Amino acid sequence: MKSGYVAVIGKANAGKSTLINVLVGEKVAIVSPKPQTTRNAILGVLTREDYQLVFVDTPGIYKGKTYLADLMTKTAENAARDVDLILYVHDGHGGIHESDLELIKKYSALKIPMIMAYTKIDIMPRENIPLDVKKLYEEGVSCDVFPVSARKGINVKKLLNALVERVPEGEKMIDDDIVSDKSEKFMISEIMREKILLKYDKEIPHGIAIIINTFELQENGVYDINLDIVCEKANHKSILIGKQGKAIKEVSSFARQDMEKFLGKKVFLTTYVKVKEDWRDKPNLVKNYGYDPKNN
């Protein structure tokens, strides 16, 4: 059979996680319109009779100013080292900039086979696609470029076939029924973070960490989940909570519904908002909150 690791690399917000979720056929990574949604390297596994692709979702490349942002960039760079193939994701509707070409060249220099997904074609003028692809080739991009839309499922199958073709012959690496390397508890904390990314603006969601205190299936079949939402400034806490707790109630309710869907069980969710001044710049806190440079 064909089998291999595929690192999914690209700028922040390019559409990497959305594409992986579509390729794998299950939601293994959260998605939001804000850059820096993904913080860890997350495996998404697609197993069929004759192939197994293990996708490594990575934090988008983004020039951040915090220790956590640097760590995320390192996570992405490290993920691209020991893989069989790189799937470079480019946001087609965002145009082609010098910074895109630089990044593409940087990853091409690793001498690992590469394929490019030129994504979000559903929200751009069709006539720009061949012009952009031509421009990429003229600028020295040598890998195959696949225009796709993850949201509308356009050309995703074609891209998948190409990925399978490019990975080596090998053994199955991961059991059939496993789609992600992350625990249910991890996914629960990510669902909470996703809802915060969707609801709040500016720096607030980027300064959030989720700590799960309790994650327990009770005898009555209801999950008891108790978590802390850690933010980095006192004024962020009051915005998170909102007038008479309205904002936090709303976002917790959205999160609970999604958690119930994910777990297939009722959830009793309790959330607390806490402040840890500038935790994103404090390596020990960053580590405590699950972003360990060694395991990332």
Q: Out of 3, 38, 52, 155, which residue is the one contacting ligand GTP (CB under 6 A)?
A: 38
180 binds, among Mg ion, ligand GTP, none (CB under 5 to 8 A by kind): none
How close are the terminal C-alpha atoms of the chain, in Å?
29
Q: Out of 13, 36, 37, 119, which residue is the one contacting Mg ion (CB under 5 A)?
A: 37
The interface region with Mg ion, picked from 34-42, 153-161, 249-257, 267-275 by CB under 5 A, is 34-42
Strand order in 222-231's β-sheet?
209-217, 222-231, 266-275
Verify binding: residue 59, ligand GTP, rule CB under 6 A.
Answer: yes
Q: Which is nearer to ligand GTP, 262 or 268 (CB)?
A: 262
Q: Which is nearer to ligand GTP, 86 or 267 (CB)?
A: 86
Q: Out of 4, 7, 28, 36, which residue is the one contacting ligand GTP (CB under 6 A)?
A: 36
Contact between residue 118 and residue 133 where contact means Cβ atoms under 8 Å apart? yes
Verify binding: residue 290, ligand GTP, rule CB under 6 A.
Answer: no
Pairing mode, if any, of strands 222-231 and 144-147? unpaired
Neighbours of 48 (CB within 10 A): 12
Q: How far is the CB of 60 from ligand GTP (least distance, A)?
A: 2
Contact between residue 33 and residue 112 where contact means Cβ atoms under 8 Å apart? no
Contact between residue 76 and residue 63 where contact means Cβ atoms under 8 Å apart? no
How far apart, in whole angstroms, are the C-alpha atoms of residue 116 and residue 114? 7
Q: How far is the CB of 20 from ligand GTP (least distance, A)?
A: 8
Instruction: Return the structure tokens found at 161.
Output: 């076939």
Distance from the Cα of residue 93 to its chain's centroid: 19
Q: How far is the CB of 246 from ligand GTP (least distance, A)?
A: 25
Q: Which is nearer to ligand GTP, 12 or 208 (CB)?
A: 12
Closest CA to 58 of 46, 32, 40: 40
Binding residues vs ligand GTP (CB under 6 A): 10, 12-18, 31-33, 35-38, 59-60, 119-120, 122-123, 149-151
Residues forming contacts to Mg ion in the complex (CB under 5 A) are 16-17, 37-38
